[in-house]
Every structure is written in structure tokens, then in C-alpha cells.
Chains A and B, each alone.
Chain A
């Protein structure tokens, strides 16, 4: 029997397997001018310490976030970022990163707010590439600036705001809290020294089910679990259905983008939105319901 870890992407039963590429595939496309490899990490030291040859870095705090408002870059900001990274409208972007591609799927999700559908994720991310002993470099590539035309950011289909989530919760529609059990229960909120992501109240949105995001990934190599394994978690264990209208959330919306990716692309769920305000907004809001 083929072990789960050694199954190819095509053998794992995903709804949209074309959204994933293997490390082999990336290694074979390093010089492909139609491909741009993008590394996105939590730890900002990883890319400068060594990355896939030709890969550019997109930093979630500096490149994807608006530097004044709590929001993502607007159309003009996204166009500037794409131009700087040498990405054109026809470029296929392949994301990878640390933490089982947690930050890669976050960048992927934000790219989808701007409709860049030519986007893929390298299964296993940085961990698998490194474990396989593949080539890495500290040389930072510079690509000619492109002329990229983006539509206005579409916040209606895959993004949820607090007002949407309030209605969603009142209507008893499915919510997935992907944080750790200690965060879900309210036992743990934030560090006193760390006000940036602090919250005044602990707990979770009433009715939410707790499915920590990392259950969808194999810790030994960062690859995604098979469709049957994922269905066992989200459908058999938790009772979600592909036709459900689901909102995912965590603390600032990054971990929940991983679950959004899993449900949307690997299991083919039709309507999943990521609430990026997440607990740092909900747990600081006045007069919203909280369950502990």
C-alpha cells in the first residue's frame, strides 16, 4: 500500500489538484519565465538566509498590509507590488513558505482578493524543499518591472467583515475557529508584552467549532493531508458539508487562510470566507456575543 506521505498530489483525491505543485515540479520550472516563485514566511529571517533560486519574497506585514489602516493594500498598492516582483497578469505565481505553507496560503488568499487566479502553492513548502536537500541561495533576484493591471479588491466573496460575521453567527451558520484549543476556550489570550495582537476578552464566537488549522498538514514535511483524511476531520468529525456557507477565523486571519484554502481548493467547498478581523477584532469589540 502506498503510504499517505508518498502519494502524489493527483493521488490524494483533491477537488482542484491543479492548485498544488510538487517540489519536483518547481525544481523543473526554476528557469520558466512564465512562473514566479514567491516565498512568504512568518519568520522574516528565513528568506535572506536562503531561498529557492529565483524566488522573490513577499512580506505579509510590509507588502500586503496597508501601512496606516488595518487593511490590505489597495489596487494601486497591489499593482506596485506586482510590478516590483516582476509579476505580470499572465504570470503563474507559485507560493511557498514556512509553517506548512500557512503564510503562503495567506498571501495566496490576498492575491485572490485581486483576482490573480494563476496561482499555485508548492506542497510541503519550505520545509519539504529543505528536507529534500534541494538548492537554496542567498542571491536576491531582480526582475524587470512589469505593467500589472489589477481590478479593485473584491472583499465580497472570500473575505468576511465583522458585520457579516455577526449576521452569520445570528443565523447559526457554520463558523470554524482554527486557533489552538487554549485560545478557543479563552484560557490563553495574548502576552502582556505584546499589545499588537492583544485582546481584552478570551473565548470564541458562539457556535464556532474548533478545528486547529495544522490538522490539515503533515508536520513531518508540511504537505497537505489527503482529501479522505480532510473529509474525515471536517465532514465526519465536525459535520460540515461542501455546500455550507462557512466563515473561518483565527487571531488575525492568517492561520484561517490555510483552512480557507483547504476547504475551497482541496475539498471543493463552494462558499468559504475568511474573517481576517478575527479574534483581535471580535475579542476587543463592545457588545458582541462571546462563548467560553
Chain B
């Protein structure tokens, strides 16, 4: 993680943001398409249809769901289901969030700024698309915060 990276961001996400900062628009698009190509829907052992509403990302037109899998050691693996086959950005973002936030300390996951979406996708993201992508991160963070809250001594 470089000195400029926001404090507390999981190292893999900070490194990815640095990669995207160096990429021009075409390279960024190619990188994101590569991520989208790696997308895999949440396995049946984690989630079955119909998916619960509480796992659905609000304001996301691509109908994205996030499912937590609690890992030994108190971290979480984040699984995604993107129901819109044309939701390429949602698929790319799902892979990025899984690869950079799964297994990371919950405090760091909860502290990722929403601006990370624009650092990865660029500033020209439309509002509709931006809303959905920020919503995906927000749901991942809600799941992390819920677990942090449950662990607080009462």
C-alpha cells in the first residue's frame, strides 16, 4: 500500500486502485472486462433461489445479491449473484469486491470509502450505474458491520 492510499483500505483493494489509476481509459475497460469474465454466481451451497430480499442490493438495476460466508478467524467471504446478464459492470465489481475484500478484517471492509467505485470505474460512470455499484459495496459493508456489532461485548 502506498503512502497516498487511504488508511485502512484492505491492501489488495489499495493495490488494485493503484493499478487502475495508472491505466488509461481503454486499459481500464479491458481490465474490467477481464474481471467480469471471471464472474461466478454464488454456489448453491451458499444461496438458493428465490434469493431473500435482505440480500438484494438496493438501487441496483442489475438485481445483485450479496451472500456472506463466515470464515474461520472471524472474516467473511462475499458471494454475489448478478441476475442481469447485461450487468457487466456489476459482474466486474462483484469479482473485485470478492477478490479484494473477502477474508479481510471486517473493520477495514467497513471503512472502504464509496469513492472506490469511481477510482476503479472512472468519473464518467452514469448515476444509475454508480448507484448500483456503490450499493453493492454498501451491502458488503453492512454485512461486515453487522458482524462487528454482534461481537461487541454487551
Interface residues of chain A, those whose CB is within 8 Å of chain B, are 42-46, 48-49, 61-62, 98-99, 126-127, 130, 190-191, 193-194, 196-197, 251-252
Taking CB atoms and an 8 Å cut-off, the chain B residues in 25-75 that contact chain A are 25, 29-30, 32-33, 36-37, 59, 61
A194–B36 CB distance below 8 A: no
Q: List 29 A-B contacts (CB under 8 A).
A: A42-B128, A43-B89, A44-B124, A45-B29, A45-B33, A45-B88, A45-B92, A46-B86, A46-B88, A48-B30, A49-B33, A49-B36, A49-B37, A62-B124, A98-B86, A126-B86, A130-B86, A190-B127, A191-B114, A191-B130, A191-B131, A193-B114, A194-B127, A194-B130, A194-B131, A196-B127, A197-B127, A251-B127, A252-B127
Query: Interface of chain B, helix or strand or loop or mixed?
Result: helix
- Given contact pairs A43-B87, A62-B124, A127-B86, A48 touches B29 in the complex (Cβ within 8 A): yes
User: A191 contacts B86, CB within 8 Å?
Assistant: no
A171-B134 Cα distance, complex, nearest whole Å: 41
A252 to chain B, nearest CB (A): 8
- Per the 8 Å Cβ criterion, residues 104-154 of B in contact with A are 114-115, 117-118, 123-124, 126-131, 134
Tell me the complex Cα distance, A126–B92, Å: 19
B35 to A, closest residue via Cβ: A45
CA gap between A44 and B89 in the complex, in Å = 8
Complex alpha-carbon distance, A191 and B114, angstroms: 10
A48 to B28, CA, bound (A): 11
A126 proximity list for chain B (CB < 8 A): 86
* Residue from A126, A127, A194 whose CB has the most chain B CB atoms within 10 Å: A194
* A42 and B126 contacting across the interface, CB-CB below 8 Å: yes
Interface string of B1-35 (1 = CB under 8 A from A): 00000000000000000000000010001101100
CA of A194 to CA of B124 in the docked complex: distance in angstroms? 11
Contact A44 B86 (CB under 8 A): no
Binding site for A on B (CB under 8 A): 25, 29-30, 32-33, 36-37, 59, 61, 85-89, 92, 114-115, 117-118, 123-124, 126-131, 134
List the B residue with the shortest CB-CB distance to A193: B114
A251 to B59, CA, bound (A): 16
Bound-complex Cα distance A229 to B23 (A): 47
Chain A contacts for B131, CB-based, 8 A:
191, 194
A57–B85 CA distance with the chains assembled, in angstroms: 19
**Among B25, B30, B126: residue with most chain A CB under 10 A:** B126
B124 touches A45 (CB 8 A): no
Given the known interface contacts A46-B86, A194-B131, the answer about A61 and B124 at a Cβ–Cβ threshold of 8 Å is: yes
B-side contacts of A49, CB under 8 Å: 33, 36-37, 88
With A98-B86, A193-B114, A193-B115 as known contacts, state yes or no: A45 contacts B127, CB within 8 Å.
no
Known: A45-B89, A48-B29, A126-B86. Contact between A191 and B124, CB under 8 A? no
Residue of B nearest to A198 (CB): B127
Q: Which residues of B contact A99 (CB under 8 A)?
A: 61
A252 vs B124: C-alpha distance when bound (angstroms)? 13
Identity of the chain A residue whose Cβ is nearest the Cβ of B30 in the assembled complex: A48
The residues of A that contact B33 with a CB separation of less than 8 Å are: 45, 48-49
Given contacts A48-B30, A251-B127, 13 further A-B contacts (CB under 8 A): A44-B29, A44-B124, A45-B36, A45-B88, A45-B92, A48-B29, A130-B86, A190-B127, A191-B131, A193-B115, A193-B118, A194-B130, A194-B134
Which residues of B sit under 8 angstroms from A193, Cβ to Cβ? 114-115, 117-118, 130, 134
Closest to B61 in A: A99
Shortest beta-carbon distance from A221 to chain B in Å = 12
Residue of A nearest to B117 (CB): A193
